[in-house]
């Protein structure tokens, strides 16, 4: 038995959550519903414009790993924070959830700080993200622990993490060690604009190494540069063993071994959409590594996504195991 | 017209909120429902024991001032944070709510950090507080701006702020300048154990200077060292022009000009009791400085308290002005 079922690699950051009207997004020049990268000056400017906020550990893959840990999975996370107060908050929350987190801290005298994401939540529950990467941008191959990668049944790579000077090398190292030890590779495309920035690198990785691809409709269309969703899904299924593509209120599509399943979303009131895709992926991976068939993995993913969008913050608050048990799903193996 | 309706002085801190079962309190040696002072070592130890948390600006008087600002009152706050990330969060949230906050920061190289309060919320919604004061303990007379105190219709003094080497001198300066300029003084007793620590100083201040006393039943009984609530209320009413004493689910008692009113609580599901007394005081002071009679001030205080205990965090999330308007209360003047 490998030590970890899933090891995630992503951008470590603390979410700064504030509510605002849609007009605020226009006034502040924020693109709605997407992730935009900002520098420290812009982060300070925006922070000065938003109302009272609350701080919650975030980071896309970190939310996924927190979800797996919450469900009792054996999991670890790799992502860089600084030796500062926000870094301590990030590390605490991940460990307190039960995940292993041992990435070397950026030192106190590093120029950048721990990354943060200013998340503006509009009345419709949509989140518009403004990300100051900070030290998480500078994760290098040296931060990839070969032993940990070899001990992973799956690694989970965050598309956002492709930004930054040494990201590709770090991912290449993780993939090579994981695969050599018989592990498998999952990737999330993260965001349609992230796909635009890194389409060729994503495509090469998908074709060569990825065994499980997470994305949503917009990312899928951007990936294959088409408006034809079915065609894009079909193409992805040719290239990857398992494709899990969420489609917002329409639920998720899973393609595996020549089959396609559509798994409806769980109806819920959307308070804050932050983390829906992250928790879908986390619960899906937990289910996959616990013997559920892909269709049920997507169902379990939808349950987790519905829970996390029903409250502010991108990590589970209700007991997902209870919600999954209530759905009556059982592992196949 | 004075620049400020209310200027509050208190312990500036960020709340670290985590949920736990009652058994956790026993295991961790935490007294339920009270505030206990802890040092940095204990803060680190406890933080290592709690689950994932969220960070929200807190501090008793700061919550009160945030409530007044939320209601549109002209208000300022005095309390010490460090030039660190938690200090920046505290300052941002207060200013973003509309309060003036200009206290000099403790420098980056100060030994202590910005204060924080580890709040354990049990399933019954009760909060058990573990406070590391940090730099807020070292607020001195030099931090009291005479111009600001002279510009206050009311100052609001937090009982918790009596802990710390130069607290009494700082309060004495604030009172003297405020009163000399025709302002009035309100005080909250904060916590029964805080009353035990500072009973004589509180009593002297109450008899000499306090025009409006906030407390709850336990604090009132501790203040007058009796089990007879009615007798304690009566004694307080002899010493202070207006007494506003909350009594948990039983609402609040107001005593003024020989009259006593009992104002029932607003029924609500308690999610997190943190900030109930703080927001009662904030809304009461807002109402008092906007021409409402004392009985209606308590009613408005109860509305604010009910809102803040219906969610996690000690500052208002719903629009309190709407809730107050719905209650149909009108200023007398």
Q: At CA A292, angle to CA A288 and CA A293, rounded to 5?
A: 95
* % pLDDT > 70, chain B: 100
Overall average pLDDT of the A285-291 stretch: 98
| In contact, A10 and A35? CB cutoff 8 Å | no
What sign has the CA pseudo-torsion A283, A288, A292, A295? positive
Instruction: Measure Cα distances from B220 to A107, B224, B227 in Å.
Output: 49, 6, 10
pLDDT at B111 over 90: yes
The answer to whether the Cβ–Cβ distance between B89 and A55 falls below 8 Å is: yes
pLDDT at A56 over 80: yes
In a 13 Å sphere around the CA of B20, the CA atoms on its Cβ side amount to: 27
Overall average pLDDT of the A96-101 stretch: 98
Overall average pLDDT of the A280-285 stretch: 98
Structure tokens at A232: 């894009």
- Selected for mutation to probe chain B from A28, A46, A53, A54 (highest B CB count within 10 Å) is A54
| In contact, B94 and B8? CB cutoff 8 Å | no
**pLDDT interval class at B122 (50, 70, 90):** very high
pLDDT at A100 over 80: yes
| pLDDT score for B235 | 97
**pLDDT interval class at B19 (50, 70, 90):** very high
A&B contacts, CB < 8 Å: 54
Beta bridge partners of A266: none
Beta bridge partners of B244: B214, B254
Q: Tell me the backbone φ, ψ of residue B6, rounded to 5 degrees.
A: -140, 130
Taking the CA of residue A56 and the nearest CA in chain B, the distance in Å comes to 5
| pLDDT score for B251 | 97
CA distance A216 to A232: 11
Domains of chain B: 4-12+59-113+135-326 (3.40.1190.20)
- Selected for mutation to probe chain A from B40, B63, B85, B279 (highest A CB count within 10 Å) is B85
pLDDT at A312 over 90: no
pLDDT at A243 over 80: yes
| pLDDT score for B127 | 92
| pLDDT tens sequence across A157-180 | 999 999 888 999 999 999 999 999
pLDDT at A103 over 90: yes
pLDDT at B232 over 80: yes
| pLDDT score for B333 | 73
- What is the maximal distance between C-alpha atoms in chain A? 54
Q: Tell me the backbone φ, ψ of residue B41, rounded to 5 degrees.
A: -60, -45
| Dihedral angle computed from the Cα positions of residues A270, A271, A275 and A280, in that order, rounded to the nearest 10 degrees | -30
| pLDDT score for B148 | 98
pLDDT at A333 over 80: no
Mean pLDDT rounded to a whole number for chain A: 96
Q: Which of A294, A289, A291 is nearest to A67 (CA)?
A: A289
Structure tokens at A285: 């991976």
Q: Which of B52, B54, B57 sits opposite A52 (nearest CB)?
A: B57
| In contact, A35 and A194? CB cutoff 8 Å | yes
Taking the CA of residue B48 and the nearest CA in chain A, the distance in Å comes to 7
Overall average pLDDT of the A228-249 stretch: 97
Which segments within A198-311 are labelled E, that is strand? 212-216, 242-246, 252-256, 259-263
CB atoms under 10 Å from CB of B247, counted, come to 17
CB atoms under 10 Å from CB of A44, counted, come to 12
For residue B12, give every residue at least 6 positions away whose Cβ sits within 8 Å of its Cβ, in sequence order, or none. Answer: B59, B62, B77, B79, B80, B81, B87, B90, B103, B114, B115, B136
pLDDT at B322 over 80: yes
| pLDDT score for A117 | 97
The answer to whether the Cβ–Cβ distance between A96 and B50 falls below 8 Å is: yes
| Complex confidence, ipTM | 0.91
**pLDDT interval class at B313 (50, 70, 90):** confident
- The distance of Cα A171 from the centroid of its chain, to the nearest Å, equals 15
pLDDT at B165 over 90: no
Taking the CA of residue B51 and the nearest CA in chain A, the distance in Å comes to 5
Overall average pLDDT of the A29-34 stretch: 94
CA distance B306 to A236: 52
Q: Which of B47, B51, B55 sits opposite A54 (nearest CB)?
A: B55
| pLDDT score for B164 | 81
């Amino acid at each position: 038995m490998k030590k970890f079922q899933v090891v995630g690699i992503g951008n470590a950051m603390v979410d700064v959550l504030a509510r605002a009207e849609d007009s605020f997004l226009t006034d502040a020049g924020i693109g709605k519903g997407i992730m935009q990268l900002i520098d420290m000056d812009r982060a300070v400017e925006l922070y000065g414009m938003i109302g009272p906020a609350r701080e919650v550990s975030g980071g896309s893959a970190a939310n996924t790993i927190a979800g797996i840990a919450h469900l009792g999975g054996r999991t670890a996370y790799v992502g860089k924070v600084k030796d500062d107060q926000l870094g301590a908050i990030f590390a605490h929350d991940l460990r307190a959830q039960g995940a292993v987190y041992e990435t070397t801290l950026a030192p106190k005298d590093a120029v950048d700080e721990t990354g943060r994401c200013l998340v503006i939540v509009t009345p419709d529950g949509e989140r518009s993200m403004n990300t100051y990467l900070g030290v998480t941008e500078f994760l290098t191959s040296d931060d990839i622990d070969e032993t940990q990668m070899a001990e992973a049944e799956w690694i989970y790579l965050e598309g956002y993490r492709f930004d930054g000077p040494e990201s590709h090398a770090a991912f290449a190292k993780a993939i090579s060690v994981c695969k050599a030890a018989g592990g498998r590779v999952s990737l999330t495309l993260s965001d349609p604009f992230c796909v635009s920035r890194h389409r060729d690198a994503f495509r090469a990785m998908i074709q060569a190494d990825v065994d499980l691809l997470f994305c949503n409709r917009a990312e899928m269309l951007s990936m294959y540069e088409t408006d034809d969703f079915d065609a894009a899904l079909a193409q992805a299924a040719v290239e990857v063993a398992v494709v899990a593509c969420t489609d917002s209120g329409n639920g998720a599509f899973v393609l595996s071994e020549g089959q396609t399943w559509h798994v409806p979303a769980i109806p819920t009131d959307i308070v804050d959409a932050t983390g829906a895709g992250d928790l879908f992926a986390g619960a899906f991976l937990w289910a996959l590594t616990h013997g559920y068939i892909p269709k049920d993995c997507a169902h379990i993913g939808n349950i987790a996504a519905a829970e996390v969008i029903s409250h502010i913050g991108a990590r589970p608050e209700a007991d997902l195991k209870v919600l999954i048990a209530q759905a009556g799903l059982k592992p196949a193996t």
